[in-house]
Structure 1
Amino acid sequence: MPSYSTPLKLGPLLLKNRVIMASLTRDRNRIPGPLQVEYYTQRAGAGLILTEGTFIEELGCEWSNAPGIYTNEQVAGWKKIVDSVHARQGLIYIQLWHIGRVAHPLLQNGRPNVGPSALAAKGGKFSQIKGEPGYVVPEAIKDPTFYISLYKQAAERAKEAGFDGVELHSANGYLPHQFIDNTSNHRTDQWGGSVENRCRFPLGIIDELSRVYGNDRVGIKLSPSGGYNDIGMNDTDTIETYGYLIKELNARRLAYIQLARYWAFVDPAGRGKNVDIFQWRKLINSEHTAFFVNTDFDSEEGAKVLESGMADAIVFGRLYISNPDLAERLIKNRELNTYLNMQGLCGGGREGYTNYPTYEKQKLQQFLSNIEYL
C-alpha cells in the first residue's frame, strides 16, 4: 500500500515521496531574492515543490509583493532558487498565475481589470487601501488567445530558469477559473456558453504549456467547489463541467491533475458547494497522470487516502509553512509544529517565513527551555 515515503513516477521524474508542497502566497518579493532561496531550499525534502502563484504579467494584486516571471531579473532570481533546490535533490514546478477580474482596482497602472465578461466579483475588499474598495467591473477580454500566449511566454521563461515543470493555476476564482464557471462567464462566442466553450480557455493554455515543456511536465490545479472570489456553479453544472474538463485533461496525459477540496474559511458568503472531489478519481488514469488532492488534510487523513489509492499524493499548505521538514516528519510519524506566526504569514522578512525550526531544532529548543526553567 502506498504511503508518504513511497516514490511516485511523475512523467519523466521520480518523486522521492508523496508529500507535495502547495503553492503558498507569502508576499515577500516581486523579484525572488536570497530570502526566497532560503525558504524553498529549506523545504526541498518535499516530493515536489509547487511555487507560490507567479504572475505571467505585471498586475495589480492585493499581495503587492507576489512574484512574477515576466522580466529577465525575475528569471534570474528564480534560477537561483531552482538551482539550490536541485542541489538538495529536490524537484520544483512553477505555478503560473493570472488573477483576471479580481486584480487590485487602483494598482493597475491605468489599465482596466479584465475577465471573460464584464461582471464584477462580489464581496471583495483590498485592505491595503484606505476605505477598502471592493472588486470593480472588469473589461471583457476581446481576444482570449492573447492571454493564452502570455502563459506560453511565461512557460518559456520558466524553462529558462530551469524549473522541472509548470502548473496552471485554474482554481480559486482566478482567470482560467473565471472562464470555466458559468457565473463569471456570460460570453456568447466560442469561449462561453456550452461546457466545451467554457473549458476552451484552460485547455488552450494547457496545450501551449505542453508545447513548451511536454505534456508530462505540465500540471493543473482545479477547485470544483468554488467559493473563493465569488465563484461557484450549481451541483449539476459543476459535475457536468468538471467531468468534461477532467476527461479532456486526462486525454492529454498530463503529469498530474490537482483537485482542491471545499474550504469554508475562504467562503464567508457561502457561495461554494462542498463537492466530493474523489468522484472524479475514476476519470484519471494513474498510469500516465497522477491525481493530487489538496486542502485541509492532516497527517492521518492524508495517510489513509494514500493507502486506499484514492489519490497518488497529498498537497499540504499551512503545515508546510510551519514545518520546513514536513515530509520527513510525516514519513517518520513525528510531532508536527502547528503554530503559525500570523503576522509573518504574508509580507515581511524572515519572521514567520524562514525561522520555523526543523524537528531536531524544535526539540533542542524545548530541551534548552526546560533546562533554563529548572
Structure 2
Amino acid sequence: MPSFSTPLKLGPLLLKNRVIMSSLTRDRNLVPGPLQVEYYTQRAGAGLILTEGTMIEETGSEWSNAPGIYTDEQVKGWRKVLDSVHARQSFMYLQLWHIGRVAHPLLQNGRPNVGPSAIGANGGKFRVLPGAPGYVVPEAIKDPTSYIGLYRKAAERAKEAGFDGVELHSANGYLPHQFIDNTSNKRTDEWGGSAENRCRFPLRVIDEMCSVYGNNRVGIKLSPGGGYNDMGMSEKDTSETFAYLIQELSARRIAYIQLARYWDLGDPLKRGKEVDIFQWKKLINSEHTALLVNTNYNAEEGEKTLQADLADAIVFGRFYIANPDLAERLIKNQELNTKFNMKGFYGGEAEGYTDYPTYEQQKMKELLFNKVLH
C-alpha cells in the first residue's frame, strides 16, 4: 500500500514522496526575491511544490503583491528559487493564474475586468480600496483566443525560468472556471452553452501548455463543488460538466488532475455544495495521469486516502504554512505545528512566512525553555 513516503512517477519526474505543497497566495512578491528563495527552499522536502498563483498578465487583484510571470525580471527571480529548490532534490510546477471577472478596474489603471459574460460575482470585497467595494460587472471577452495566447506566453516564460511543469488554475472562480460554470458563462457562441462549449476554453489553454511543455509536464486544478468567488452549478450540471472535462483531460495524457474538495469557509454566500470528487476517478487513466486531492486533509485522512488507492498524492495547503518540514513530519508521524501567525498570513516580510520552526527546532526550543524553568 502506498504511503506518504512512497515515491511517485509523475510524467518523467520521480517524486521522492507523495506530499505535495499546495499553491498558497502569501501576497509578498511581485518579483520573487531572496525571501521567496528561502521560503520555498524551506519547504523543498515536498515531493512536488506548486507555486502560489502566478499572474499571466498585470491584473487588478485584491492581492496587490502576488507574483507574475509576465516580465523578464520575474523570470530571473523565479529561476533563483528553482535553482535552490532543485538543489534539495525537489520539483516545482508554476501555477498559471488569471482572475478574470474578480479583478477591479481601479487596480489596473482603468482597464476593465473581464469574464466570459457580463455577469458580476457577488460577495467579494476589495479591502485595499477605500470603502472596500464589492465585485463589479466584467466586460465580456470578445475573443477568448487572445487570453489563450497569454497562457501560452506564460508557459513559455515558465519554461525559460526552468520550471519542471505548469499547472492551470482552473478552480476557485477564476477565469477558466468562469468559462466552465454555466452561472457565470451565458455565451451563445462556441464558448458557451453545452458542457463541451463551456469546457472549450480550459481545454484549449491546456493544449497550448502541452505544446510548450509536453503533455506529461502539465497539470490542472479543479474545484467542482464551487463556492469560492460565487461559483456553483446544479448537481446534475456539475456531474455532467466535470465528467466531460475530466475525460477530455485524461485523453490528453496530462501529468495530473488536482481535485479540490468543497470548503464552506470560502463560501460566504453558500453557493457551492459538497461534491464527491472521487466519482470521476474511474474516468482518469492512471497509467499516465495522476489524481491529486486537496482541501482540509489531515495526516490521518491523507494516509488513509493513499492506502485505499483513492488518490496518488495529497496536496496540503495551510499545514505547509506553519510546517516548513511538513513532508518529513508526515512521513515520521511527528506532531504538526498548528499555531499560525495571522499577522504574517498575507503580506509583510519574514514574520509568519519564513520564521516557522522545523520539528527539530521546535523541540530544541521547548527543551531549552524547560531547562530555564528548572
TM-score clears 0.5: yes
Q: Is the partner of 1:52 in helix, strand or coil? A: coil
Offset from partner CA, 1:200-237 (integer Å, 9 cap, x none): 00000000000000000000000000000000001000
Which segments of structure 1 move beyond 2 Å, counting only runs of 4 or more? none
Give the Cα–Cα distance (whole angstroms) in 2 for the partners of residues 108 and 182 of structure 1: 27
- Taking only the aligned residue pairs, the percentage that are identical comes to 76
Matched, 1:43 2:24: no
The answer as to whether partners of 1:92 and 1:164 remain within 8 angstroms in 2 is yes
Q: Which residue number in structure 2 is paired with residue 167 of structure 1?
A: 167
User: Where do 1:345-360 residues align within 5 Å?
Assistant: 345-360=345-360
Q: Which residue number in structure 1 is paired with residue 322 of structure 2?
A: 322
Offset from partner CA, 1:283-337 (integer Å, 9 cap, x none): 1111100000000000000000000000000000000000000000000000100
Give me the CA root mean square deviation: 0.5
Matched, 1:68 2:73: no
User: Where do 1:161-310 residues align within 5 Å?
Assistant: 161-310=161-310
Offset from partner CA, 1:52-83 (integer Å, 9 cap, x none): 00000000110100000000000000000011
Give the Cα–Cα distance (whole angstroms) in 1 for the partners of residues 29 and 196 of structure 2: 38
Instruction: Please give the TM-score of this superposition, normalised by the length of structure 2.
Output: 0.99
Give the Cα–Cα distance (whole angstroms) in 1 for the partners of residues 365 and 28 of structure 2: 27
Q: Where does the alignment leave 5 or more consecutive residues of structure 1 unmatched?
A: none
Give the Cα–Cα distance (whole angstroms) in 2 for the partners of residues 150 and 313 of structure 1: 30
Give the Cα–Cα distance (whole angstroms) in 2 for the partners of residues 34 and 109 of structure 1: 29
Offset from partner CA, 1:26-51 (integer Å, 9 cap, x none): 00010000000000000111010000
Give the Cα–Cα distance (whole angstroms) in 1 for the partners of residues 328 and 12 of structure 2: 24
Give the Cα–Cα distance (whole angstroms) in 1 for the partners of residues 129 and 147 of structure 2: 28
Offset of residue 129 of structure 1: 1.6
Q: Is the partner of 2:185 in helix, strand or coil? A: coil
Larger mean Cα displacement after TM superposition, 307-316 or 121-130: 121-130
The answer as to whether partners of 2:104 and 2:112 remain within 8 angstroms in 1 is no
Offset of residue 130 of structure 1: 2.0
Q: Which residue number in structure 1 is paired with residue 10 of structure 2?
A: 10
Matched, 1:153 2:153: yes
Give the Cα–Cα distance (whole angstroms) in 2 for the partners of residues 150 and 105 of structure 1: 19
The answer as to whether partners of 2:105 and 2:111 remain within 8 angstroms in 1 is no
The amino acid across from 1:129 in the alignment is L
Q: Is the partner of 1:274 in helix, strand or coil? A: coil
Offset of residue 373 of structure 1: 1.9
Offset of residue 104 of structure 1: 2.6
Offset from partner CA, 1:132-165 (integer Å, 9 cap, x none): 1000010000000000000000000000000000
Give the Cα–Cα distance (whole angstroms) in 2 for the partners of residues 34 and 192 of structure 1: 44
Give the Cα–Cα distance (whole angstroms) in 2 for the partners of residues 212 and 150 of structure 1: 13
Matched, 1:115 2:120: no
Give the Cα–Cα distance (whole angstroms) in 2 for the partners of residues 144 and 269 of structure 1: 29
Give the Cα–Cα distance (whole angstroms) in 2 for the partners of residues 241 and 185 of structure 1: 13
- Residue-pair matches, total: 374
Give the Cα–Cα distance (whole angstroms) in 2 for the partners of residues 287 and 240 of structure 1: 24
Q: Which residue number in structure 1 is paired with residue 34 of structure 2?
A: 34
Offset from partner CA, 1:230-285 (integer Å, 9 cap, x none): 00001000000000000000000000000000000000111001011011111111
Q: Is the partner of 2:107 in helix, strand or coil? A: coil
Q: Is the partner of 1:349 in helix, strand or coil? A: coil
Q: Is the partner of 2:53 in helix, strand or coil? A: strand
Offset from partner CA, 1:78-106 (integer Å, 9 cap, x none): 00001110011110000000000001341
The answer as to whether partners of 1:105 and 1:135 remain within 8 angstroms in 2 is no
Q: Where does the alignment leave 5 or more consecutive residues of structure 2 unmatched?
A: none
The answer as to whether partners of 2:227 and 2:271 remain within 8 angstroms in 1 is yes
The answer as to whether partners of 1:27 and 1:346 remain within 8 angstroms in 2 is yes
